[in-house]
Amino acid sequence: MCEITTAMLFYSIVASTAVATYSSYQQTKAANEAADYNAEVSNRNAAVAEMQAVDAEQRGAIEEKQLRLSIAKTQGQQNSALAGSGVVVGEGSALDVLEDTAYLGELDAMTLKHNTEMEAWGYRNQGANYKAQSGLSLLSKKNAGVAAGTTLLTSASEGYQRYYTAKGTKGTKGGETE
């Protein structure tokens, strides 16, 4: 009778270990699928961020070109107005006005270019963060796999302890063997 009880205990421990391991395997499988999905989403977000950076640079280059054309147009209008008034354009106050226009225009162009570079940098930095997030998602797959193996080893070890504890205490009374 004692052997039957011990055998039943042994098989219940094996079954329990198998169920726990299978459950852990299914959790690992689901976690891996989620990690793959999250990594793919992060990679796509990184690609979108790079497209936004390129778009910002292209828009900035167009805006800078338009600004420089506008500055040149303003200088031409100033030059014509001064010359039409009989002012000598290449010297004195007239020259100061044209130089100030050129200086302020260049300052505006440089500010525009800097803002464009900062916008593109922000998108690229965001893309780098998405890439890092993708890497972390894939790393979590390794951790999930370790969890399944750990469950198997832990369950087997606990089952072994229960089995041999139960087997060793069968037929004893008060710590003494019958």
> What is the separation, in whole angstroms, between the first and last Cα of the chain?
15
Share of the chain above pLDDT 70, in %: 83
Q: Is 147 exposed, middle or buried (0-12, 13-18, 19+ CB in 10 A)?
A: middle
Q: Quick one: average pLDDT of 8-29?
A: 80
Higher pLDDT, 160 or 119: 119
Segment holding 172, helix H or strand E: strand 172-173
Q: Quick one: average pLDDT of 139-149?
A: 71
Q: Which residues contact 2 (CB under 8 A, 6 or more apart)?
A: 170, 171
Q: Which residues contact 110 (CB under 8 A, 6 or more apart)?
A: none
Tens of pLDDT, residues 78-111 = 999 999 999 998 899 999 999 999 999 999 999 9
Is residue 118 very low, low, confident or very high in pLDDT (cuts 50, 70, 90)?
very high
Torsional class of 171: left (φ above 0), alpha (ψ -120 to 50), beta (otherwise):
left
Is residue 69 very low, low, confident or very high in pLDDT (cuts 50, 70, 90)?
very high
- Is residue 74 within 8 A of residue 101, CB to CB? The reply is yes
- pLDDT score for 2: 66
* Segments making up each domain of the chain, as ranges: 2-172
Q: Quick one: average pLDDT of 7-24?
A: 79
- The neighbouring-strand residues paired with 158 are none
